Structure 1
């Protein structure tokens, strides 16, 4: 989805008729950066939701460009979002700001947000829709290329060749970088005009040889000799077991997780094989996961697809290897990093209403806000020993899901629940009725909730008064819309964004009183 094509703190009515609080522009900016707006929501289409978010991002950029850029760079650089496109889109808006100082700062931040050629192509497409190719934009793009070492630039040129009709050749011709070294000059010449590879980084020599390869065996040899990525391989050899075995040997973590299905389908990963052992060891390496900044959504998407044995869009099928599925399940929790338990009594309430089945989280096909909320809840449940998980069905229903289950099984259990109206006061009323002693209520919702007889804010205050417990409420927003049920004036209530990698730590930190 191209974002370019989709371009109050008082209680208000949300789209379902419930009473909610309109979140401020900075919250909307953060929600957009983390969750995106692909697929829209039950109440707002993709076009409408993206336009609303783009308008909020623009207001942030115009109000305080430096603060907006800090937020954009932090989310992108720290790997807190599953996809970088929202951050790139927001950076392109900032590079088109009214204030010259904001535009300059946005272009200076280009290497921090656009770390690959694909990112740079997306930025160029977005920014073209907001402004012309002036001197500062040309200089910013040129600097991106000049700051790369020859080896880094050669890797970019081979691996990230095209996106949305944009190529490195196009950007070099638009930006006119003045090469500071003979190596850069020769590399720019090859990217723009092709020709001889003598004196260029070895990956260029390997790439040109792979493009002339006659068979899979020769291709596999070139992959090993030149450490070539999959993108250097001719399409006719991408069904070869020999080629994929060679690629697997030094495959980066993100590529490995993304290509598990193909590796299994072509026979590299089968029970007991060296390929399976290698993949399982890599996926289980927590330090490697963290260094690669693999986002939990990427792991969850791979887990759901791989365990299903068939693609979401394509016709390919494969026989999932159970140990690989288990490794992905463990990697999902590891991808959130180390979360210190708060040691508090928690009630985790999942919105499983019809509106939560609409749209895709971060553009992952089939990953609905309802499924994602179950996954998020299990991360907290795996951290906090004293917890209970309930769902909004017909009233409030205890859910028989546990972090001891495999993640995909737990999500399936939640996905098969009947829909029900979401009255977010119910967790507090439920705790009072059943005499539950709860320190922190955590509600996962799109905040498109039904208006019950008691507002959630009042229900929490009543619970505090009757029990004497200074209970807290955390609202985890699963859609990038404008609503929250958390009262921003109550220090015991917190609104945060779902599937930010920092979310579980923020939940436990707030529950422990550290925030």
Structure 2
């Protein structure tokens, strides 16, 4: 009798069969309750498809989800873009890359209004130069460099405060095969003030810029560029540490040959953001800064324990 019940039990059908017509077959070969395209969009934006899953390859997951993103964009472009922006800004996703990809799809939509709306939201999703360069790489394979796209790129730069822009061009000089020179030549923004003009010229015509001279400029934003140039020509560690301390230079502004010195990392650690600190724990350990019982180690532990840091 038990053998028959194993083969046929209306109350407990096997996983290989649906409970009712509302279930759909999943990647594992079993059946699960279907979710609508908008829930699937949110799931993709949060979880992404990197690495695939146990039952589906990364390629398959990315393709399936990309097609669903396009379906959502075609169904309601504004809602799709708003969903992308909301999840990108809420911190619900561990990585922003999927939201950038989805925004690039929206910026390449057939509907003109959807494209324009997606491009207007570019600064909200692409908050750093790394994000912008990722967007440019995605969109390069999806559409042409039309006027609206070029304008959006230019507006991204013009919307930055001078200090923010100086920090961006120093910290994120190159990512994903793109540089600020590439982006500025595409966007071709017209400077709205003299500081922007100097910054743009430094990026596109660095060899002709006066910011590499020894005289420090009076403007705060231009001073960061000047400090970066001074760091590239630093003659010793002491000079470099002083520049880091005085002008809050990020790690990316430091010449590679100095990144083995614990004094440099000690100066960087003072104002290093939390995520940057976590990413560089191995580097600070390798150079000898983080050692058992050291002041730097205690500072790192203190920050990691501080929920409000």
CA distance in 1, matches of 2:49, 2:55: 13
The answer for the alignment partner of 2:237 in structure 1 is 216
Number of aligned residue pairs: give it: 280
Q: Partner of 1:102 in structure 2? A: 114
**Superposed displacement of residue 267, structure 1:** 2.0
Greater relative CO (CA pairs within 8 A, separation 6+): 1
The aligned residue for residue 276 of structure 1 is 297
Question: Could you say what secondary structure the match of 2:53 adopts?
Answer: coil
What are the residue-to-residue correspondences of 1:190-269 with 2, within 5 Å?
A: 190-194=202-206, 195-197=209-211, 198=217, 201-269=222-290
Residue in structure 1 matched with residue 9 of structure 2 by the alignment: none
Residue in structure 2 matching 1:175, options 170, 177, 187: 187
Distance 2:302 2:224 in 1: 27
Are 1:85 and 2:106 matched, yes or no? no
Q: C-alpha distance in 2, partners of 1:95/1:28?
A: 20
Q: Give the Cα–Cα distance (whole angstroms) in 1 for the partners of residues 63 and 154 of structure 2.
A: 30
Matched, 1:12 2:18: no
- From 44, 48, 59, the equivalent of 2:60 is 48
| Structure 1 position 132 matched with structure 2 position 144 | yes
Instruction: Note the alpha carbon deviations across 1:308-353, whole angstroms, 9 max, x for none.
Output: xxxxxxxxxxxxxxxxxxxxxxxxxxxxxxxxxxxxxxxxxxxxxx
Q: Deviations over 1:55-104 (max 9, x none)?
A: 01111111111111121111111221111100000011111112211111
Q: Which consecutive residues of structure 1, in runs of 5 or more, have no partner in the other structure?
A: 1-8, 289-515
Equivalents in 1 of 2:84, 2:199: separation in Å? 31
- In the TM superposition, residue 10 of structure 1 has moved relative to its aligned partner by 2.3
Aligned CA RMSD, in angstroms, stands at 1.4
CA distance in 2, matches of 1:16, 1:72: 28
Shift of 1:260: 1.6
Match of 1:389 in 2: none
Instruction: Give the counterpart of 1:76 among 78, 88, 109.
Output: 88
| CA deviation profile, 1:187-214 (whole Å, cap 9, x unmatched) | 1001101121145621101111111123
Per-residue CA deviation, residues 239-272 of structure 1 (Å, 9 max, x unaligned), is 1111100100110111112112222222222222
TM-score for both structures, normalised by structure 1 = 0.53
Q: Larger % of helix: which? A: 2
Q: Could you tell me which residue of structure 2 aligns to residue 142 of structure 1?
A: 154
SS of corresponding position for 1:286: coil
> Which residue of structure 1 aligns with residue 5 of structure 2?
none
3-state SS of paired residue (2:210) = coil
TM-score by length of 2: 0.87
- Aligned equivalent of 1:33: 45
What does residue 198 of structure 2 align with? 186
Cα distance, 1:13 vs structure 2: 2.4
Counterpart Cα distance in 2 of 1:183 and 1:139: 20
